[in-house]
Structure 1
Amino acid sequence: MQASTSSTAAASSSSQQPWVIAKIGGTSVGKQLHAVVETIVPTHIKSGNRIALVCSARSGNTKATGTTNLLLRAAHEALRPKGQPDLSSSVPSLRNSPSQSPAPGTPSTPRGSYLLSGSVSSLRLSRSATPDERQPFDDTVDQIKEDHMVAARKAIVNSRELLDEVEEELEYDCERLRGFLRAAQIIDEISTRSKDIIMGVGERLSCRIVAAALRDRGIDAELVSLENIIDWDVLTDEDAQTGKAADGPPQLGQTFYSRLSQRLGERLAECGDRVPVVTGFFGVVPGSLLAQVGRGYSDLCAALCAVGVGASELQVWKEVDGIFTADPRKVPTARLLSTITPEEAAELTYYGSEVIHPFTMEQVIRAAIPIRIKNVENPSGEGTIIFPDSVAPDAHPAEHTARNTVAPSVATRAPSSVPSSALEPHLGPTAITIKDTVVVLSVHSNRKTIAHGFFARIFGTLDKHGIVVDLISTSEVHVSLAVHGEMRKSVLDRVVRDLKPVGEVSISRDMAILSLVGKHMKNMVGTAGKMFSTLAEGNVNIEMISQGASEINISCVIEERDAVKALNLVHLKLLNQAPQGLAGY
């Protein structure tokens, strides 16, 4: 009875500890895992926090060698095989004539066939392929397996038994992936659902190593794989039908994400005193996780976990100290921002600075949970806090818990971890960023179409080819569009060809978008004038000008060769002095 009482008291104490959700990026898992398991996690535990890690797939030395890209390559290679397997070798009834059919009840597994069991997601090979049967994706799977084996041996240094266990698990996951790809090759199809399943392997491999590295250092950790977290209790018929009437994939609503966050909170609570190591991949959703969220789904997963457990903070660990007034690699005078609003962070993300996906921010901000960007190479740094400046200060942490089914639509109180300076609106610009590799597409009407038909043809063509417009400048008969230039030449050629009946088309390449961001710039007169006059004094030619309807950014298109000079000129003129209301400068 005494032991039972002690156990209950320990569980109660654990449940009252504040949660911190730490999102660990792929590069950090790949290069700085020792800092995560030896510094970051132990520090939080010693300070009385409960911590959960949400991990991305490991990244290599280059983006092309990252696990996610290798998995996508393997999926592509499965549909372009070196030698198509013979279906008749896998299906005896297709190979054998009636006179050659085995007697009823006689097992028959022809040489070269594959034993497929269970659902498609759990396909396994009954034997290894011979060298003559190897397909291009086999080399890619082998590379993924070897990368993770090497990483496991570097991370697990104290327990040979634990290392053997992890190597066996990594072997199983990679061979399961190989079997899945062979099955996809046989049916000659990889659906969006299948691609999601393939992508999810990367997070599972990563989390196996992280969880084992923690256990290797005496920290009890549990791998939490979320591939089956979504079921019909989370995804209702109403959710499944959302958006089906519109073009494109169905769009899941906030009700779905709120219900999912509750389920995630319940799952993390089941870990007890163990440190959850959570896969950033959280299952298959209608319309594909990649289509719904994109490559940033692990950030969204971390946000939903934070909402589900009512975390005191969501920490996003990167390889930089936080968010700066400009890219410090290009602007030596750039300063670290102690706080920034979600609106400003969203604009910076869209216009070139990788901060965090706006939808991800929305999930935690609406639950009054601050986001802190921190540097895995400098764990003691304060980082940058993302939190709105339009809430009331309060000494209490966020009241949202896993019991809530729908988070409040507007955060009304700030947790104690948010400094009071963050709640004081500051005037003037906050940061400046540049988006490289931009193409300006200009269309001058031939006046054979009326004005609304002119615009309809242009945007209908862009939609047809999936072209996203960053900036637009229009008159009744002329449209200039700034679009991302990293598209295939054949796509751009087709766009130009389809637009020629509308009017004269011209293209300007090697351009860049310069964006000055500040939520309260509209309260200051002359900011845009200072920006453009500064560029003129520096002999920087401006091709397009656009001020967003939100009034929190002023953007212009310049030649890419002038990008670094323009960044430094505008930063020196408008951002060299700390804006009013920012503390710490």
Structure 2
Amino acid sequence: MGRVLASISYLKEVTPRSQDYIASFGEKLSSAIVCTTLKEAGLKTEWYTGGNAGIVTDDQFGNAIPLMEITTYQVKKNLEPIIKEGVTPVITGYIAHTQNSTTTTLGRGGSDYTATIIGVALDVDEIWIWTDVNGLMTADPKIEPLAKTIPTVSYVEAMEMAYFGAKGLHPRALEPAANKEIYVRIKNTFNPEEEGTLIEKNQNVKSVDIAKAIAIIRDVALVTVSGAGMVGTPGIAAKVFKILGENHVNILMISQGSSEANISFIIPRNRLDTATNTLELALLGSGNIRGISAEEDVCIIAIVGAGMKGTPGVAARVFTTVADKEVNVRMIAQGSSELNISFVVKEADGVK
């Protein structure tokens, strides 16, 4: 790693490939320490990086996508024989490699993803993800002291919660397990007796639990593209989102009124300058777009629960409660699945 850091210092430039290589060392060192500790305790263990264990990805450095067919084959080939011999494999989370053995990483929180990839490849009965909370919570306990652990949720509910920042779960981690219908359990390393949260296929809906969780997502910004020339003009939305995609700006939420006179969307706050600058250069002066505005002091509130599906009046109750607190809603979105209602408010109003 010293040579890599030296070259970066000389060139004054770091590539995504180099970033993945450097970022991999933390997991490599910590898992080697764990493996040695287990050996000293008398266990038979072997240490692997995610790539050496068999996880193969594409070359999208920083957020690599596993190639599941070859990964399943390689993990079975590499790990099943030693497990049958009573050896416990200690595998780095977060790290994998390409088919050319170049180091890649699975993105933020990718250790959860590693666990489900390995579990699915080995066709296990249940995957346990150890974290520092008792499971998925009904709300952030730092904001709502009465927040409780949710005993069971479905894959789709958990995916929604993970997307909106549920602590202890990677947004993509559940997809491999859901495809194979393998149970996933979230447990607390510091409270191992706690049952945690079981994630399964079935949606267990109780009449009193229409919504299972409320999440707040900070560090976002609201961008609005508007203009009378947008009305009835095909391709405007496609052009906007194409520009953002080409500049690696992720869109978290979209809303457009039936008048077609404006499009509003939420993006990460740290990408706001890139988004507005590129949109202004590409769209202003075209005759269709009148203005591009942005607000930084906003947050997303998301309400998740399978019980909302087909239940009349849920949105009315949500927004009546919000209005009673004198909170102005800037933007609203709800998918056709009805598992989630999301809306945008001023950041100062988010905790209300």
Q: TM-score, normalised by structure 2?
A: 0.85
Deviation at 1:218, TM superposition (A): 2.7
| Partner SS state of residue 172, structure 2 | helix
Residue in structure 1 matched with residue 47 of structure 2 by the alignment: 223
Amino acid at match of 2:313: G
Residue in structure 2 matched with residue 294 of structure 1 by the alignment: 107
Choose which of 316, 323, 326 in structure 2 pairs with 1:539.
Answer: 326
Residue in structure 2 matched with residue 468 of structure 1 by the alignment: 250
Supply the RMSD in Å over aligned alpha carbons.
3.0
C-alpha contact 2:50 2:114 (8 A) present in aligned 1: no
> How far apart, in 2, do the equivalents of 1:503 and 1:487 lie?
22
Amino acid at match of 1:289: T
Matched pairs, number? 340
| Partner SS state of residue 255, structure 2 | strand
Instruction: Please tell me whether Structure 1 or Structure 2 has the larger radius of gyration of its CA atoms.
Output: 1
| Partner SS state of residue 306, structure 2 | coil
> How far apart, in 2, do the equivalents of 1:441 and 1:308 lie?
42
Match runs of 1:342-361 below 5 Å: 342-361=155-174
> In 2 relative to 1, CA 491–547 (structure 1 residues): closer, same or farther, beyond 3 Å?
closer
> In 2 relative to 1, CA 336–442 (structure 1 residues): closer, same or farther, beyond 3 Å?
same
> In 2 relative to 1, CA 537–188 (structure 1 residues): closer, same or farther, beyond 3 Å?
closer
Choose which of 216, 219, 236 in structure 2 pairs with 1:437.
Answer: 219
Amino acid at match of 1:370: Y
> In 2 relative to 1, CA 515–367 (structure 1 residues): closer, same or farther, beyond 3 Å?
same
| Partner SS state of residue 33, structure 2 | helix
C-alpha contact 1:429 1:520 (8 A) present in aligned 2: yes
> How far apart, in 2, do the equivalents of 1:266 and 1:517 lie?
40
CA deviations 1:96-135 (Å, max 9, x no partner) are: xxxxxxxxxxxxxxxxxxxxxxxxxxxxxxxxxxxxxxxx
Deviation at 1:496, TM superposition (A): 4.0
Residue in structure 2 matched with residue 483 of structure 1 by the alignment: 267
CA deviations 1:260-288 (Å, max 9, x no partner) are: 12321332233322321112222235797
Amino acid at match of 2:299: A
C-alpha contact 1:461 1:499 (8 A) present in aligned 2: no
Match runs of 1:149-298 below 5 Å: 177-182=1-6, 191-229=15-53, 256-271=67-82, 272-280=85-93, 281-285=95-99, 289-290=104-105, 293-298=106-111
Deviation at 1:524, TM superposition (A): 0.9
> How far apart, in 2, do the equivalents of 1:194 and 1:528 lie?
47
Match runs of 1:297-446 below 5 Å: 297-389=110-202, 424-426=204-206, 428-446=210-228
> How far apart, in 2, do the equivalents of 1:464 and 1:310 lie?
38
Amino acid at match of 1:441: V
Match runs of 1:21-170 below 5 Å: none
Residue in structure 2 matched with residue 562 of structure 1 by the alignment: 349
> How far apart, in 1, do the equivalents of 2:199 and 2:298 lie?
30
Deviation at 1:355, TM superposition (A): 4.3
> How far apart, in 1, do the equivalents of 2:160 and 2:73 lie?
29
Q: TM-score, normalised by structure 1?
A: 0.53
Residue in structure 2 matched with residue 108 of structure 1 by the alignment: none
> In 2 relative to 1, CA 192–458 (structure 1 residues): closer, same or farther, beyond 3 Å?
closer
Residue in structure 1 matched with residue 284 of structure 2 by the alignment: 500
Amino acid at match of 1:541: N
Deviation at 1:363, TM superposition (A): 0.9
> In 2 relative to 1, CA 189–563 (structure 1 residues): closer, same or farther, beyond 3 Å?
closer
Deviation at 1:302, TM superposition (A): 1.5
> How far apart, in 1, do the equivalents of 2:50 and 2:149 lie?
35
Amino acid at match of 2:126: E
> How far apart, in 1, do the equivalents of 2:44 and 2:190 lie?
24
| Partner SS state of residue 321, structure 2 | helix
> In 2 relative to 1, CA 329–180 (structure 1 residues): closer, same or farther, beyond 3 Å?
same
Deviation at 1:189, TM superposition (A): 6.9
Deviation at 1:322, TM superposition (A): 0.5
CA deviations 1:342-400 (Å, max 9, x no partner) are: 111111122232343343212122223211111111011100011110xxxxxxxxxxx
C-alpha contact 2:133 2:168 (8 A) present in aligned 1: no
Amino acid at match of 2:72: S
> How far apart, in 1, do the equivalents of 2:230 and 2:303 lie?
38
> How far apart, in 1, do the equivalents of 2:320 and 2:230 lie?
38
> How far apart, in 2, do the equivalents of 1:489 and 1:514 lie?
23
> In 2 relative to 1, CA 551–311 (structure 1 residues): closer, same or farther, beyond 3 Å?
same
Identical aligned pairs, as a percentage? 29
> How far apart, in 1, do the equivalents of 2:238 and 2:51 lie?
42
> In 2 relative to 1, CA 479–490 (structure 1 residues): closer, same or farther, beyond 3 Å?
closer
Amino acid at match of 1:268: L
| Partner SS state of residue 263, structure 1 | helix
| Partner SS state of residue 317, structure 1 | strand
Is there any run of 5+ residues in structure 1 with no aligned partner, and where? 1-176, 390-422, 566-585
Deviation at 1:500, TM superposition (A): 2.9
> How far apart, in 1, do the equivalents of 2:8 and 2:74 lie?
31
| Partner SS state of residue 350, structure 2 | helix
| Partner SS state of residue 468, structure 1 | coil
Amino acid at match of 2:263: V
> In 2 relative to 1, CA 467–184 (structure 1 residues): closer, same or farther, beyond 3 Å?
closer
> How far apart, in 2, do the equivalents of 1:557 and 1:464 lie?
25
> In 2 relative to 1, CA 472–529 (structure 1 residues): closer, same or farther, beyond 3 Å?
same
Amino acid at match of 1:212: T
Higher relative strand content: 2
> How far apart, in 1, do the equivalents of 2:65 and 2:42 lie?
41
Is there any run of 5+ residues in structure 2 with no aligned partner, and where? none
> In 2 relative to 1, CA 440–259 (structure 1 residues): closer, same or farther, beyond 3 Å?
same
